[in-house]
Amino acid sequence: MRIAFYAPLKSPRHDTPSGDRRVGELLMSALRAGGHRVELASEFRSLDLQGDARRQSDLRTQGTRIAGDLARRWIDGAKDERPELWFTYHLYYKAPDWLGPAASAALGIPYVIAEASFAPKRAGGPWAMGHEAAGAAIARADLVFVPTRHDIECLRPIVAEPQRLVHLPPFLDARPFREALRDRHAHRQRLSRAHGLDLQLPWLVVVAMMREGDKLASYRELAAGLARLADLPWQLVVAGDGPARGEVGALLENAAGGRVRFAGELHGDELARLVVAGDVFVWPAVNEAYGMAMLEAQAAGVPVVSSAARGVPEVVRDGETGMLAPAGDPQALAALARRLLLDPEMRRSMGRLASSWVSEERSIETAAGRIDAALARNVTRAGDR
């Protein structure tokens, strides 16, 4: 099937790395793994962070024009180049989809969404235009892939047919982590030399951007938890960077003293090599949708300590591949980290299970199968109407 792919919040080709960009890339890879031909329809970004009605109106105008141009280009072009399905990733009130509904209607093709959110409290507020557009897009979609069961409950009121809501759990390309795991000892030695880490101590690992908002709130909770572990031997390795680097550094230095090491922003194989060298991945995940970095840690055979908030239980099997504390409770988070720090065999056992679970249940290949099964059940029929 020929698929037009679009991400209104952040294009998979955007210069700034983020979880959104990574998930967009993964979805395109999963669709291709299913045998589909995927084209990025547009890099137009509909994001309005300020609640500016004029900007939202301008974005709507631009989006409507782009949708029309795309539809005309495909209609006037060769039929075998025309998309047979439109696939939008991640729309919500701050970044609605002004392209997909219009272009798919003009072409007479199914409209599919992955990861959408709808917040009734935004009705009539500064983002009213985006809120209404997001709701209309979700309501008309032939299929909505939802990463967490928490999100399914939020979307039920505006999706008329329950079968159009399909659970597609978070997934990833586990290959770089599996490969890094084969040479864990060598990666650990290299990092020890590069950052002055003690090979005899357990390493806590964190991978997160350093910016205001929920990320900084998570770093604050992390620091509060680490301060409660001062009596134990450990070291902390942090991969990440961003505008709040100074504040994050001060927080962690105050909590961990000379135990913290900053590896900077890492990607791809380098990130996999760092994560696989760790012993426990710890992250409070304040207000995170689910947390791709925690899924990556488990792919690397590293157990996770986090919070049972929002979609985190979708990526961490509590008591099996990691441990989850109540949300907003640094003391409970520290208590779980303490258990793993004091029990090397528990760490290894959880890590082995985590790695195999991700490979078997959360791989691109598994996701491709789930997507294709849902398309066969829902979208093919919708496209024939």
Most confident of 19-23, 288-292, 315-319: 315-319
- Alpha-carbon torsion 126, 9, 17, 369, what sign? positive
Read off the pLDDT band of 380 (50, 70, 90): low
Average pLDDT (242-252) is: 97
Read off the pLDDT band of 383 (50, 70, 90): very low
pLDDT in tens, 162-182: 899 999 999 999 999 999 999
Higher pLDDT, 354 or 383: 354
pLDDT in tens, 360-371: 999 999 999 999
Distance between CA 30 and CA 366 in Å, rounded? 9
pLDDT at 195 over 90: yes
pLDDT in tens, 255-288: 998 999 999 999 899 999 999 999 999 999 999 9
pLDDT of residue 381: 44
Average pLDDT (66-88) is: 96
What value, to the nearest 5°, has the Cα angle with vertex 133 and ends 140 and 27?
A: 65
Q: Which of 13-22, 328-337, 345-354 has the lowest mean pLDDT?
A: 13-22
pLDDT at 17 over 80: no
pLDDT of residue 382: 41
Say which amino acid occupies 209: M
- Alpha-carbon torsion 180, 290, 59, 88, what sign? positive
**Closest to 279 (Cα-Cα) out of 233, 228, 227, 222:** 233
Q: 132 near 167, Cβ under 8 Å?
A: no
pLDDT of residue 289: 87
Q: 32 near 367, Cβ under 8 Å?
A: no
Q: Which of 26-40, 146-160, 216-230 has the lowest mean pLDDT?
A: 146-160
Residue 294 neighbours by CB distance under 10 Å: 26
Residue 38 neighbours by CB distance under 10 Å: 20
Architecture of domain 175-361: 3-Layer(aba) Sandwich (3.40)
Average pLDDT, rounded, for the chain: 94
CATH class of the domain whose range is 2-171+363-384: alpha beta
pLDDT at 52 over 90: yes
pLDDT at 385 over 60: no
Non-local (6+) Cβ contacts of 319 within 8 A are: none
pLDDT of residue 153: 82
Question: How is the chain split into domains, by residue range?
Answer: 2-171+363-384, 175-361
**Closest to 353 (Cα-Cα) out of 273, 276, 299:** 299
pLDDT at 75 over 80: yes
Q: Percent of the chain beyond pLDDT 90?
A: 88
CA dist list (Å): 292 to 19, 165, 189, 208, 336: 7, 22, 26, 10, 20
pLDDT of residue 120: 87
Query: pTM of the predicted model, to two decimals?
Result: 0.89
pLDDT in tens, 101-159: 999 999 999 999 999 989 888 889 999 999 999 999 999 999 999 998 888 888 999 99
2-171+363-384 and 175-361: same fold? yes
Distance between CA 365 and CA 118 in Å, rounded? 29
Q: How many helices (H) and strands (E) does the chain have?
A: 15, 12
Please give the helix or strand (H or E) that residue 115 lies within, else none.
strand 111-116
In the numeric block, which tokens belong to residue 105?
Answer: 């209607």
Q: Percent of the chain beyond pLDDT 70?
A: 98
In the numeric block, which tokens belong to residue 318?
Answer: 């509590």
